[in-house]
Amino acid sequence: MNILVINCGSSSLKYQLIDSENEKVLARGLAERIGIDGSMLTHVPAGKDKVVIGKAMPDHSEAVRLVIDALVDKEHGVIGSLSEIGAVGHRVVHGGEKFDRAVLIDGSVIRDIEELSSLAPLHNPANLIGIRACAENMAGVKQAAVFDTAFHQTMPQKAYMYGLPFEYYEKYKVRRYGFHGTSHDYVSARAAELLGKTREKLKIIVCHLGNGASISAVCEGKCVDTSMGMTPLEGLIMGTRSGDLDPAILDFISEKEGLSASEMNTVLNKRSGVLGLSDGLSSDFRDLCDAADQGNELARLTLDTYCYRVAKYIGSYAMAMQGVDVIVFTAGIGENSFGVRERICSYLGWLGAVIDPEALKKRGEDVVVSKAESRVTVMIVPTNEELSIARQTLALL
């Protein structure tokens, strides 16, 4: 069966059509600038040339129509008709405490996702627009919601509570939820599979280091802690997000700079992280590593600060799980950046990690980068959230 995986943003829609039988990607693409001038669809059919279609997309429903047209097109299509799409799997960012697993979408699920929008005001409404646009254009096709937060719902209460008045948890559900759950689940399961072991017998730390970044402690198959919080702002230093900081800094800077609460929020989400720390040099680790190699001191400090934070989280999760068997690097930076992995691995000796420097240079493939005598296995495992969404959707049918 072919499963259409959709990741819908407020002005974009990413998709992959996956054949669930052989798990091959038949086509992938991106509709951009939906509702804005200059909207376009980039469609990449497997084994054929990419096509860029510049066409007005006033709303997401039109974007879904164009995606379907591209998928069934005589020249660059990959299926004969719409009836060859068996189901749609949507990435939904916030499932709150309501959803601890993927679900088939019906009216009550839509209402729940709507209610949870107060916890993810930028993401859940956009995800819902995608769900409705697919329902309009693919009547009768089953749709599933796969939540970014679901995998972390196994965290014990001591790991998800903040040191805040309890009433905020009771009234507003202010607590830690964690994100990138689909990736942490997929990568920890894949790491165990590659090692020929069952995840239920391993203590795994997954370092999902992409433009957004998070770490999780997966103890015997269950997430027991993760670095992102009520929103994706907490935890590691990221591309443009600050990660953990002293909350009193908000008041201090807003007073000094005359910024409102919402302007401060923009500073923390869009102007901080490695972009801010490097004084605007770049949020991209390729640029930062190149600059550091050429002797740029601020780029070096940025990378050192970033990696030190990751190493501290690894240490605390080894404590949380009372041990660690496997540490996995994944996502854009984790899979590709030797400079980042090398810096983080330089802290791991006390855990008994013995790194193979040649293996550590590999990129974008499943590989064990620790030596046989290492007490903890260190690996690179490319993530594949779309495949995981397709698998979870299929399992629900």
* Contacts (Cβ under 8 Å, ≥6 apart) of 205: 215, 216, 217, 218, 314, 317, 318, 321, 324, 326, 327, 328
What 8-state DSSP symbol labels residue 76?
T
Token duo for residue 135:
């329902």
Per-residue x/- track, 232-271, ligand AMP (CB under 6 A): -------x--------------------------------
Question: d(Cα 333, Cα 340) in Å, to the nearest integer?
Answer: 7
Residue 284 falls in the annotated catalytic set: no
Tell which positions 197-236 bind ligand AMP, by CB under 6 A.
Answer: 210-211
Distance in Å, CB of 7 to ligand AMP, minimum:
12
Edge-to-edge strands, sheet with 377-380:
222-226, 213-219, 203-209, 326-330, 377-380, 367-368
The verdict on 7 binding ligand AMP (CB under 6 A) reads: no
Interface segment toward ligand AMP; rule CB under 6 A; list 130-138, 147-155, 319-327, 330-338: 330-338
Cβ closer to ligand AMP: 144 or 236? 236
- Tokens linked to 361: 């240079």
Query: 3-state DSSP call for residue 19?
Result: strand
31's enclosing H/E stretch is strand 24-32
Residues in Cβ contact with 86 at an 8 Å cutoff, skipping those fewer than 6 apart: 1, 2, 3, 20, 141, 142, 397
* Part in contact with ligand AMP (CB under 6 A); list of ranges 3-11, 299-307, 326-334, 348-356: 326-334
Contacts with ligand AMP, 143-182, as mask; x by CB under 6 A: ----------------------------------------
Angle at 394 between CA 389 and CA 397, to 5 degrees: 130
Instruction: Assess contact for 207 and 312: CB atoms under 8 A.
Output: no
Give the active site residue among 49, 59, 69, 148.
148
The answer to whether 361 contacts ligand AMP (rule: CB under 6 A) is no
CB of 204 to ligand AMP, least distance (A): 19
Q: Which of 238, 314, 327, 333: binder of ligand AMP (CB under 6 A)?
A: 333
Number of residues lying near ligand AMP (CB under 6 A): 11
Q: Does 286 bind ligand AMP (CB under 6 A)?
A: yes
C-beta of 206: minimal distance to ligand AMP in Å? 13
Residue 96 Cβ vs ligand AMP, minimum distance, rounded to whole Å: 24
Question: 124 in helix, strand or coil?
Answer: helix
Residues taking part in catalysis? 148
Q: Please report, as ranges, the residues that interact with ligand AMP according to CB under 6 A.
A: 210-211, 239, 284-286, 331-333, 336-337
